[in-house]
Copies of this chain bind each other. A is one copy, B any other.
Amino acid sequence: MRTILFPKKENWEELCRRPAIEKSQLDDIVSSILRRVKSEGDKAIFEYSEKFDGIKLTSLKVSPAEIQQSVDLVPENLKAAIQVAKNNIEKFHRAQLIQEQVIETSEGVSCWRKNVAIEKAGLYIPGGSAPLFSTVLMLAIPAKIAGCKEIILCTPPGPDGKINPLILYASMLTGVTDIFKIGGAQAIAAMAFGTESVPMVYKIFGPGNQFVTKAKEMVQQEGISIDMPAGPSELLIIADITANPAFIASDLLSQAEHSTDSQVIFLTDNKAMLEKVKSEVDVQVLRLPRKKIACEALEGSMIILLSSLEDCICFSNIYAPEHLIINTTGAEKFAEKVVNAGSVFLGEYSCESAGDYASGTNHTLPTNGFARSFSGISTDSFLKKISFQEVSRNGIVNLGPVIGLMAEAELLAGHKNAVDIRLKSLKNV
């Protein structure tokens, strides 16, 4: 980790800049996959599965028998743990489903918004070394609470043609409608355009490799909504002298072990703490099975000494971290000043792992500085808020002249006429 002592304020923006993500040169490959899936459907997908996943499938949809087998394979203690996480995530995401009041904006003019689910949601869950069943919970639970009718999930099969039982179990538990053994850009294409097996969806969610990310970017240009732009995961920790350096090191490493491009930043106002955390990181990293990944991630990371905790918060707001841990005395006070962050963890026991799995907040969060303008996934992400208005006879009499004057000033006589014709009919009565 790069150690920086009291950087000048004018350099903070520069320090907060993310390492440039190489714009993947995958346009041609991915756009050809999208085109082929769009025109050839399942046939193209079977061919890509053979080519990319090394598996000759005969059917894309996971069968009820396969799901049942997975249920038997998950140990009971893990099932119980998943249930606790599910309950917490449900509680938090259900509370987000607020029905707003009807507002009488003028006499006789009532306006309101109604939560209506996006009918068809598509979830992508990556394959690879770690079975990210927690991401199934984080996406399918709010989709279900929002009321999505169809929740489709795509995830790549292993070389044996099977899907990790934990992913199947979590999908079953959360009410995913259909699971498909499809990975990569072809999965995004299948959900965006529909095939013989896979229903088309209206919005696509979930993390993925560079092919998946590029495919999501491209289908967005064709009018399919996506959850948010993708980037490497990040954690920023602010701690004062009262913090336990071992806790901080463990949190930094829990982020660093994600991937080699994860970025972790530690800010403190105390030189001794800075040194202690550095030593703890050096000790703890050696114990990690994924230490190679973590070490590479740490190379791109920073420990920074600033003159005050206020400065730490100010720096963090410029950086706009995906995850922010405030491990200080009176963390709530500093939390008030957070302007840009995805999810914030307060106090010494609020480790990022808690939010990753089970505190109840969502772990799908804006990275790469997008926390300046994006929220993490929530129940809102799976619904629209449709506005309604009802103008009564009295309402149009009150508001009609206002509308007419404004329409006239915008040179839209037809807009004015829609009001005038109603006002006239009322005078004639």
Contact = CB atoms under 8 A, between A and B. Distances in A.
A92 B105 contact: yes
B384 A203 contact: no
Given A92-B111, A384-B375, A418-B247, A391 B256 contact: no
B391 A352 contact: no
Contacts of A406: 78, 81-82, 85, 133-134, 357-358
A349 B391 contact: yes
Nearest to A91: B105
B338 A386 contact: yes
Contacts of A366: 384
Interface stretch (A58-66, A152-160, A283-291, A303-311): A283-291
A361 B339 contact: no
Interface string A92-105: 10011010110101
A388 B254 contact: no
5 contacts: A81-B401, A111-B360, A246-B421, A344-B389, A361-B388
Interface of A: 77-78, 81-82, 84-85, 87-89, 91-92, 95-96, 98, 100-101, 103, 105-106, 109, 111, 113, 116, 118-119, 129-134, 166, 202-203, 217, 221, 223, 225, 229, 244, 246-247, 250-251, 253-254, 256-258, 284, 287-290, 294, 331-332, 335, 338-362, 366, 368-376, 378, 380, 384-393, 395-396, 399, 401-403, 405-407, 409-419, 421-422, 425
